[in-house]
Every structure is written in structure tokens, then in C-alpha cells.
Structure 1
Amino acid sequence: MKKNLLNKYFFFSLLLLIVLIISVLITLNWFSSFMFSISNLLIVIWKIPDSLKFPYKNINILVDIISKSSLAMFTFCVTIWISYMLNFILPKSLQKKDIPIKERVKRGFIKFALLSFIIFLTIIFSVINKDNFSSVTIFTTLFTFICTPQMILRVFSNYKNIEKLEISEGVLRTFDYIKLLYYECLFSWSISIYIFQAQNTETKIEVFAISLFLLMFVTLISQKLIFKFNKQIFSNWIVSVDNKNKYKLIKEKQSRKYKITKKL
């Protein structure tokens, strides 16, 4: 707990605190039961049956405490998992642990907005079934059209000639992550409707949540493995800057030659 607190892992510290409390309660209950059992053994030896005591009288209270504590731990785990997964669609500058208070507020606001959007999608999908699932294609078309940096800049900024502006790699990556998350949500919901054919909303959401978790987990693991063990897997996809400049010069020369020929 001390190490996690020093590293500013507050949620992990709370989880360890709950585990510590449960462990202490179980140990105390075991010790109490053990002492009661010894006492009952002595009472039987001394033949005083009226003084027998039930050594596990606190077991129901202990089970209730463990149940509520486990629920609290599950809530913390889900919160940590959601916060961790949302970090991957944030800018690199906001993924750091030690950032100013202003940046933390900004990061929290962005995560809240993204989470609200996911909840909104979940509510929308909850009323969708096989009969009206095709209506999602309209929303998907609209989302794909809007979720681009150029569209956001064109609507919410004063920049002119957006097509000629060069968008940063971090922003493009963020928008790609958002699109990927949306399509994984859509695919997970289609699994719950068509494959598992869930009828009630609770079952739909459960299947959706499990499918989405598995998809995001596979995506994350695949990304980590490719980054770590095979960095050159996409090397043939990339055109080096030198080759790109040479290609550009060739095109410019061909264009000038064409213009000269046309004049002649």
C-alpha cells in the first residue's frame, strides 16, 4: 500500500486496503473460532455441557462483509480497467502519470466525455433488435462522416483551407482509436443480437460487455506483442522519406516536361 501510494496508484491502494481488512477479519474470526473450539474441548473434558459455545457464530456476518467487499473491489477493478482502456485514445501528453492539475482536469473531462458517449451508444443499442438493426447503418455513416479531424476543424475552428493543413500523427491516431472502439461496440452488439439471440436488455448488455471486453483485450494484446516482438512487420507498408521525395521530384519533372511539350 505504501509503495502504491508513493507511486500515486490510489485505486490499487484502496484495493489492497480492502484485501487487508478482509484478511484481518478472516484471521480474527479463525483465531476466535479456534479458541472457542479449545474452550469447548476443555468443557467436554471437564463435563460441563451447558457451557458449550458455538465457535462459528460470526460466520454469517463475515460472509456478508466479504460479499460487500468483493462487490466494492469489483467496482474499483471495473473503474481502473475503463480508465486504463480510455488512456489509449488520449493524446500522448495526457497518458503520463505526473502531469499538472490543469492537464489532469482536462484528461478527466475527456474520459468523462468518452465514457458518456459509450453509455449513450449502449442505451441506443439496448432498444435495437433484429428488426431495426439496419437503422444503425445510418448512424454509422453519420459517425464515420463526422469523426474526422478535418470535419471537426471545419465546423469548430476558424482555420481556412483545411484540406491543405497537415494534421498531427497523434490526433489522427486518436480518431482512429475512436473509430475502432465504435466498430468494436457495433460488432459486439451484433454478436449479442444475431449469434446469441438475446431477447431481454440485461442479457444483451451482458453479452455485449463480454464481447467488447474480449475484442478490446485481443486488440490490446496484439498491439503489445507486435510492438515488442516484431517491429518490422509493417516495414514494407511504409515509403521512406527519401523515396517519397524522389517520387515527388520525378512527378514534378514529368509535369514540367509535359507543360513544355504542350507549349511547343
Structure 2
Amino acid sequence: MKRVGLVPAAGSANRIAPLPCSKEIFPVGYGNAGGKGGRRPRVACQSLLEKMATAGAKTAFIVTRPDKWDIPAYLGSGKGMGVGLAYIMTDPTPGAPYTLDQAFPFVNDALILFGFPDIVFDPDDAFLRLLGRQTETDADIVLGLYRASRPHKMDMVALDPSGRIREIVIKPGATDLTHTWIIAVWTPVFTRFMNGFLAAAQAADKRPPGELHVGDVVRTAISQGVRAETVVFEDGRYVDIGTPEDLYSAVRENIQSLETENT
């Protein structure tokens, strides 16, 4: 089954506005520029796309809005990321699941590698480890779990003693849960479930109030028999630049590392 990256990039980034560019291509660090010499800026989504390429994705679909043309203008064909990029344009949607569903005709038979373009994370083989778990268990979806730095802003995941997902709690006001999910691998079973779930909600005019999160769909899918597994990255790190605090931290950390190298 072909491996395809899927990236939602249609958000408005209201929490960190105003920005001089789309948050997905906001510079958050520096890296080697290959044969060009010296260092060049690394943008927010670069970490995600490179890890998809490492895991064998030859193509990644980025679903975005017509007023965010700076994303394809900067990323281009994806040659510098190691993965071919295709762009799907959408009108504003009520949430990331609706954004992702715009790619359904192109990815419904693929093994999906999913991540958020405004979250920088490690390790480099993160998707490979999720793929290994999926192969081992034949799960329909595998979530990559990390220790949450700000639980009240994340999808928190409760596990049972065997490590299976017991519950997903979206942005809890207060919680004892410790882990959130930030990446996933899923099969056509979940892709088709999400497509059907959204179609049924729209047909019945029963769209949930407020923003619909991918975690909402995952939670419903599990309750209806979709097989889910997890990989816990206890030593993994992530930074969500979609919040002002973490954007500041990410930029500051990289500036400090450059200053250290130059002393």
C-alpha cells in the first residue's frame, strides 16, 4: 500500500496573528543547506515533511486556502524536503477533519501519514515506528503519543493498563492525563470512516457545535470498532508553534543555539 502524507494547512492562526507569512512556513530554526553551503532557515512544517519522506512517503498532500498561496510559493514541488508535494485548495472549513476530507478522492486507498504542520517534533524515525506498530498489530490507526507540555491546549489520551486507548479528551480544563497525540498513521479504514462520519453529520445537519477536531473523529471511530494502537515517545519532544508561548520558545531556543555555536 502506498504511503502518502496528509497535512491540514487551512487554519487562520488567530492565536499568533499577525504574522508576516502563513504559520506553516514561519522560520523556527536553521539547518544545513545541502550543497549551497552555510545555514538556511527551517520553516515550521519542514520537520513534518522530512519525517514523512524518511518513512517512505513519495507524495504529501497539503490542503490549504486560496489566500495562503505563500505556502506553495515557498515549498514548491517539495524537492528540498525529499517528498513530492501536491496542493488542494479549500474554502474555510469548520475544522481540520473537514479540511482533510477534501483530499479523500486522492488518498482513499493509501496508508496515511498525518501530522500538524505547526508542530515541530522528534525523533526523526517517528513515523517509521508508527508504521512498524501498524504492521505488527494490523491496526486501522496508530497514534504517536508525547508527554503534553500544556494539557489544556491539547487532545489528551487516556490509556488502559494494556496500553489501549480508553478515551480522548479534547483540551480539558483540568486533567491528570499526561500524554497527547501529535502524529498518526492510518489505513483506508479510518479514511473512509472519517469521510462517512462527516457526510452523515452534514446530511443530518448534526454538525457538533464549535470546532470539530481530528481527535473527535478518532474517539468516535474507536467507539464504533475502528482498531487503534499507540506508540509512546517518552523521550520525544515537540513544540506547537500555534501558541504564542511556544512560538517564542522555539525561536528563542534556536537563536540561543546559534549564539552558542558562534562563541
Quickly name the TM-score band, shorter chain normalised: under 0.3
Structure of greater Rg: 1
Q: Give the strand-richer structure, 1 or 2.
A: 2
- Under a length normalisation based on structure 2, what TM-score does the superposition of the two structures give? 0.23
Which protein, 1 or 2, shows the higher relative CO under an 8 Å CA cutoff with sep ≥ 6?
2
Q: Give the helix-richer structure, 1 or 2.
A: 1
- Under a length normalisation based on structure 1, what TM-score does the superposition of the two structures give? 0.23
